[in-house]
Structure 1
Amino acid sequence: MNTILPFSPRFEDLFEVSEVAILVCDLNRLVTHWNPFAERIYGWSPAEAIGQSLDELIYLEPASLQQAYAQVLESGQWSGPLSPVAMRGGFLSVESQWKLLADASGQAQAILICDTDVTERKKLEGQVLRSQRVESIGTLAGGVVHDLNNILTPIHLSVRLLKERASNHEDLEVLETIEACTQRGAELVQQILSFGRGADGHKMDVQLVEVVRAVQKIVQDTFPKNVHFTMTSPEESWDVVGDFTQLHQVLMNLCINARDAMTSGGKLSVDVGHIVLDEHDASMMGPTVPGPHVVLTVTDTGSGINPADFARIYERFFSTKPASSGLGLATVQAIVKGHGGFITVQSALNCGTTFKIFLPARPRAAGILPEAVIDELPRGQGELVLVVDDEAPIRAICRKTLETFGYEVITANDGIEAVTLFAIRGSEIAVVITDIMMPDMDGHALIHALRRLDPGVKVIAMSGFNPRGATSSAVDKWLAKPYNTATLLTTVRQVIDAPGRTRETAT
């Protein structure tokens, strides 16, 4: 049965006081009434709106408009979302309710429309959904990282063994390339995990020049050829205490933004410089600590940033690019702040953009060079090592590496087999190297069982997740997959040589 409301001048009173946009149109969809709140959200005055067609004034999606119009004529009412809806200078999302109005004789005369602006609510809902997706990415990242690190670990160890046997310079060059690519893959995997979990990362002395060179190779290999990359730096660059992978992510994000701003090509310049900030400079420019800083400057000749967007560029999920997640600059700012630094930006439409990142630095003392890397790896003296991992390639290459460097090795493919082997040969085993994530009996359960058999057993735990900062009284050392030969051999030697608790096999 059709729902028809009588049309009455009393509706005029509701028009004036309602906090909802109310408008009336005739059956040809021409506006006849337009209340103050409609003017407030849409921007057009009654004089401008009355007599205009709804199709051209605000409802720009023909299919949705036609569906609403057909249903209100058929059943007397319709309700639902409409988007995009035009306003002066932009667009809205609205929840709309339509009712058919009749004259005194019951003849359909007009359509009453009530619109509620839900634009901000939709934005908040979108942010919540994106936040949930980020959380899901974090969960997914953990599983992906574990699997990828299990793949990369045998490659890392195999390269070293092959380098020991390489007979000519060309073979060594190929192996060094494989080694470098594997290491870069490991860093990217860690970056995924850091992003997904919001990890703090591992900080050490980093030269930003090395970060820039790593990004330069990616830019020159993958960016359009009409984007010309240049780099300048001082002869002696100061160190910053930071996470190489996170700083790499900062620069990579800024370079990607620069590339996207130069749709027809242009110049991308990255400069590394030094500055010493006094207390006044630090308080005015920061917040940061006074003293020496490394300045990373990224300049492009692209389209620039719209002044209206300046205040929002660091907001999570804000982006002017349709396919963007809106997390790039938010991540940049978070990492820079996490390193005790700050970031500035200058931009003008069609004149390019310059980002400057200031990071507290540690100048190198004159005449002091980094200690030379000694390639002599620690060797075993026939000690027996138990390696436990459910991944056969890792067990095999770990065994081969340790045997090559003077150890005896037995292996187990899960915790249950490891407990059995330890019960038989526990007194001979110098150290147990075990994965943490394994089926049936995982690494934690295995370590607990081994401690019951021998409280003094030495244990190295390995994990495809990030064990940095992981602490456990049951573990002597952690190995982060993927690890290389030097890390494996050094860790094993350190644990074996370290003083430990008195070994006593439980009965």
Structure 2
Amino acid sequence: MTTTERVAPNDRILDEIVQVLDGTNIIVHDFSGRISRWTGGCEQLYGWSRNEAIGQVFHELLRTEFPIPVAEIRSWIQRFGSWEGELLHRHKNHQAVHVASRWVVPNPSQASELVIVQTSNDISDLKLAQGVLATREAHLSSILDTIPEAMVVIDERGTVTSFSAAAEKLFGYTAHQVRGQNVKMLMPNPDREAHDQYLSRYLHTGERRIIGYGRVVNGLKKDGTVFPMELAIGEAIAEGERIFTGFIRDLTSRHKMEEELRQAQKMEAVGQLTGGIAHDFNNLLTVISGNLEMLESRIRDENLRILLQEAQDAANDGAKLTGQLLAFGRRQPLNPKLADIGRLVTNFSDLLRRALGETIELRTVVVGAANDALVDASQLQNALLNLAINARDAMPRGGQLSIEIARSQIDVDYARLYPEVRTGDFVLVSVTDTGKGMSAEVRQRAFEPFFTTKGPGSGTGLGLSMVYGFVRQSGGHVQIYSELGKGTSVRLFLPAAKNQMPAVSLELADSARSDLPRGHETILVVEDDPRVRRIAVARLQEAGYTVLEASNGLDALALIGGHPEIRLLFTDVVMPGGLSGDELARKVRATRPEIKVLFTSGYAEPSIAGRELAETGSWLKKPYTAKDLAIRLRELLD
């Protein structure tokens, strides 16, 4: 049989196939890509006529983009007889044409005469739809990663389908841990038990309780913490199924600030009430004491004179109490004069030592020389004496009392945390003991008149109230740092007499920050107070740093293990959760000695709580300014 006689039947078969399937997209070409047959479907798909296409190399004509080298495709066909894949062609007008292509060798036994039949299905619309979908998914992903409020998406069964980066940060779970789980895992009881029933009732009856309205509810974090949150839920229908999108705002800081404001308003109201009562009562005592004095000159009976003297002593004690109430109510007239607070406290130290007794060590530290303030010296000494006596009672077995005087500047960030605080330069007097400390409940009520934790006959409960009233009347403010078992630090901010700084606007504060030293390193911030932590994180991010954050030492250790890029640990010294700042620093240095450590503390000095910082430790005393923080960071990192 001749070659012509052998090939002709195959050619006729291919011709018949192309003729019958002319409306489809079929190209017949040899292994070099030379086109021998070109259907009408290809003319419609690619824009080239049959006469223009035949004889051309198809991948040159169509400027084909292969997923793998074409030589590998040919090799595969020689071995297995067919190949499938996606190709990108170009239309005659240069438009992209995506196809799902299948290449088949019709008679692989005749190796010398191999041709390839290539069929193609246009998937350009599918590719376009996939591109649009990918764009939308990327857009949604960017929203989930950047939206400041936590966002959680669930289906009508309550299953979580999306969990934003802010939600991860808020609840403590990763998106991988939450997706596919029921959303009630983020709720405490009784909401957790009622959620499925509520969702089912809504789907059947349309009765709404939260959807479309928004309300304040409680959330449950991974560590078991229950916190208040504002929840707003929207509803949509996608492919016949309802989806619910919840936007969540953490209200912990807001509730704390509202509580601070309520406490300040209550103290103001109580102060006005007690001041008014004390003023009227003082008038009564004046009458009583005056009449007793007049009677004293007329009575000769010694037994009656003893009774008269006891009544006079009681009236004098009553006058002292009303004096303290007037001081709390800011009704007591002050006699402010320019005074060097450091020298005043130093000269007063001997009297304080006698009041404290031999079992308590008194330590006075004066930082700098410019500690002048306009203050009533006798009232300040009286306030320090009250604080010293409270500290002594908190240390029945002895301890250490530290009084530190230094200049302090309160900036806009710190003032935002407390409704009554104003910005400016202050002389800070910190009175810190190593006593038993206060619980959060006691600390909240510490300045209230007549509130005391001492036993009957051990005090009037007016000592701290008098201190509060005196400092507020002097134009300053008072703050207490205390933890059970870790001592107490009472801090008196007295307006500085020199270089007073007027109130700072947000615009001026932002302008000043732009001149601060900047950095690019990764810093881990560990602070249990969410408001203080938020301010620290914002300051660091504005200065160019990458910031990770934790609310306690154990969470910080977990972050340290998973983030080798951390260069510095910025941690509070006294924290709940069983791991203090200095203990955390020791554990970090044991595994990551290259990490720098910067401590911060509300105490007069970090070691006052009974712990010593490592020798390489550096620390900032609260409140610190953005400038203080920026400079100290560069000192450690450079």
TM surpasses 0.5: no
Bigger relative contact order, structure 1 or 2 (CA pairs below 8 A, ≥6 apart)? 1
Q: What TM-score comes out, normalization by structure 2 length?
A: 0.36
Instruction: Report which of the two structures shows the higher radius of gyration computed on alpha carbons.
Output: 2
TM-score normalised per structure 1: 0.43
